[in-house]
Structure 1
Amino acid sequence: MLMIPAKLRPGDTIAVFSPSSPATATAAARYRRGKEYLEAKGFRFLEGSLTGRRDFYRSGTIRERAEEFNALVRDPNVRCIMAAIGGNNSNSLLPYLEYEGLCKDPKIIVGYSDVTALLLGIYAQTGLTTYYGPAVVASFGEFPPFVDETYTYFTDIVTERLTLPHTLPTPPQWTDEFIDWNSQDKAKKGRVNALLTLHPGAATGTLIGGNLNTMQGIWGTKYFPEITDGTILMIEDSLKDAATVERSFSLLKCAGVFERISGLILGKHENFDDMGTGRQPYEILQEVMGDVDFPVLAEFDCCHTHPMLTVPIGAKVRLDADAQTVTLLEE
């Protein structure tokens, strides 16, 4: 049975956790900017136990990272647990999370990229709606105007002002400009936004998705939600090359995913390396998929680019590739 956490209210506590990369230590200035941004919006802010810590490529040992998260689950004052950033090893935590605690006190769990493993794993194990959306360092450490748009899209979904049905907006501009976080002191340059219809049609179903590269770390396990005829699959990736993207899309083909889903949403790809092909990820996807009979919408904005939409995993949505819209019908 689907569980929906209580909506976020002014004065509620947002807690940060570091499930993989030690970004609160390696990008301390950006972390402080994100923390101060959320505090300025009227939220209390609680730092997880690994804030400012690092263990080489990660924030702490597997057990330390799991306990940081579990401690926030047990804290009744925490209403939203937000990742600092992603990384590569969030899937290591899944056997050690306190799922029963989340069932007793459902909270908003939000993050993206490598945090996909936790969002999907928690949803699969508990039925709790989780949120593919912003992270403290990566998203709220950004500069205006993109940080403000990301914040609006986040609060549109997780606060009491959400009314259904709700059509997710298409941001007027987007960016994947690279500026080193430790030297960035200004806004990134925006580009005019446009979505792409790869296959026409419309479908209604349960949204399952996140970072495709991360999904491969839990594929075929009990932490990966079942993909059925009623699934609207959302996938995105970042900093990959054409060969890697083809391999990832081909996993979906070989696993029969394209034979089961009702619709597909492909997010923008941050700083894609086309390896001299001149081809974009959506063109590689078209080649791998072949002829399909479901709607496919590409260049969606719930991904590694700015600004970022927030999407509830497990929600009932309507994908209309002709109108280029994704509408939340039920959480």
Structure 2
Amino acid sequence: MLYPKALNIGDKIGFFSPSSPATVFAPNRFQRAKSFLEFKGFELVSGSLTGKSDNYRSGSIQARAEELNQLIRDPSVRCIMSTIGGSNSNALLPYIDYEALRNDPKIIIGYSDVTALLLGIYAQTGLITFYGPALVASFGEFPPLVDETFNAFMEILSCESNHHSYCMPQVWTDIKHNWEAQDSAKPTYQNEWKFLGKGTIKGRIIGGNLNTMAGIWGSQYMPEIQSGDILLIEDSLKGIETVERSFAHLLACGVFDKVGAVVLGKHELFDDKGTGRTPLDVLLEVLNSKVVPILCGFDSCHTHPMLVTPLGIQAEIDFDNLSFSLQERWVSAN
């Protein structure tokens, strides 16, 4: 495995738009996010497609790949962060400079559609990648939620360690506001994680956005699910029928026969189509009495605040003591 160097205050964070053009359709939130990280002491390096739009995407496939490769090849950039997700990040995978990343491992972080890049890079290089905040979507939020996201970001990325115990945020939100009109913090809900299982499960944590994984499934960019893996899955803005299909796909592929446990992230604005059922209800129906331990409601997902999940390292869920922890280093010392 390859480990990126830990992030220091003062380092350069490069940002890129592998799919949706958030720097164009949300300019106020973009500037707020950029200013937030600059105030925290980081130097932000703009990707070449910043301020550019090709309707549903930031640019052509080749232009988007080149934007990412420029940041990968820049030795001064120590962290590469997506601005947001979208639907088409998987198109970049054949054109990424994987050799440059092998020679200069750096932090690659994002979520949602960027799952394709995180898993593809890990599969091709062995580099530990990070399911975590995106610039515009995450750091454009208002305090106190953005502060909690930033603290979680730094807690994982700024120091070398081989252990981290996740703490459940006290509150969370998936309330949707007009990004350009929003001028204050969102209302929140009390938080809850559900531990459905017994004993302790250890395994490699892998996964991300479930809908996105379907776009790389069966390819060289999707890491093979191994026996005992802890599978992180989450989704956003989907209807119950789509979630049932996605879970049934995993069952048909034998995934639930292999994994040691599932970490089910919160589903942003889930549409239950009047059923009153939750994504957990759907998963349990699909499993049909198959015993798979589940940690439900984890906050590494589309909601605020957002925790950071390293992909490719050993983790542990203690279902008796209601804890989730990382058990292997994820960054190297500077």
1:306 maps to a residue whose letter is: H
2:81 matched residue in structure 1: 82
Q: Secondary structure at 1:10's aligned position in 2?
A: coil
1:227 maps to a residue whose letter is: I
Q: How does 1:145-294 map to 2 (within 5 A)?
A: 145-160=144-159, 162-294=160-292
Show CA shifts across 1:36-88 (max 9, x none).
00000101110000011100100000000000000001101000000000000
Q: 1:58, 1:323 → 2: CA distance? A: 45
Q: Secondary structure at 1:197's aligned position in 2?
A: strand
Aligned-residue CA RMSD (Å)? 0.9
With the length of structure 2 as denominator, give the TM-score of the two structures.
0.97
1:295 maps to a residue whose letter is: P
Q: 1:294, 1:248 → 2: CA distance? A: 17
2:3 matched residue in structure 1: 4
2:40 maps to a residue whose letter is: K
Q: Secondary structure at 1:275's aligned position in 2?
A: coil
* Runs of 5+ unmatched residues, structure 1: none
Q: Secondary structure at 1:139's aligned position in 2?
A: helix
Show CA shifts across 1:256-314 (max 9, x none).
00000111100000000000000010110010012233421101100000000001000
Tell me whether 1:102 sits opposite 2:101 in the alignment. yes
Q: 2:271, 2:199 → 1: CA distance? A: 30
1:327 maps to a residue whose letter is: S
163-172 vs 77-86, which moves further: 163-172
1:131 matched residue in structure 2: 130
Q: 2:102, 2:113 → 1: CA distance? A: 23
User: CA shift at 1:133, angstroms?
Assistant: 0.1
Show CA shifts across 1:195-241 (max 9, x none).
11233332101100100000000000000001111311000000001
1:320 matched residue in structure 2: 318
Contact 1:132 1:312 in 2 (8 A): yes
Tell me whether 1:111 sits opposite 2:110 in the alignment. yes
Tell me whether 1:35 sits opposite 2:23 in the alignment. no
319-328 vs 52-61, which moves further: 319-328
Identity percentage of aligned residues: 56
Give the total of aligned pairs: 329
2:63 matched residue in structure 1: 64
Q: 1:198, 1:244 → 2: CA distance? A: 23
Contact 1:198 1:286 in 2 (8 A): no
Q: 1:62, 1:163 → 2: CA distance? A: 37
Q: Secondary structure at 1:137's aligned position in 2?
A: helix
Q: Secondary structure at 2:136's aligned position in 1?
A: coil
2:213 maps to a residue whose letter is: M
Q: 1:201, 1:250 → 2: CA distance? A: 26
Q: 1:192, 1:244 → 2: CA distance? A: 27
User: CA shift at 1:165, angstroms?
Assistant: 1.7
Q: Secondary structure at 2:282's aligned position in 1?
A: helix
Contact 1:130 1:312 in 2 (8 A): yes
Q: 1:300, 1:322 → 2: CA distance? A: 17
User: CA shift at 1:168, angstroms?
Assistant: 1.1
Show CA shifts across 1:8-63 (max 9, x none).
01110001100000001000100001100000010111000001110010000000
Contact 1:83 1:115 in 2 (8 A): yes
With the length of structure 1 as denominator, give the TM-score of the two structures.
0.98
Tell me whether 1:50 sits opposite 2:52 in the alignment. no
Contact 1:173 1:191 in 2 (8 A): yes
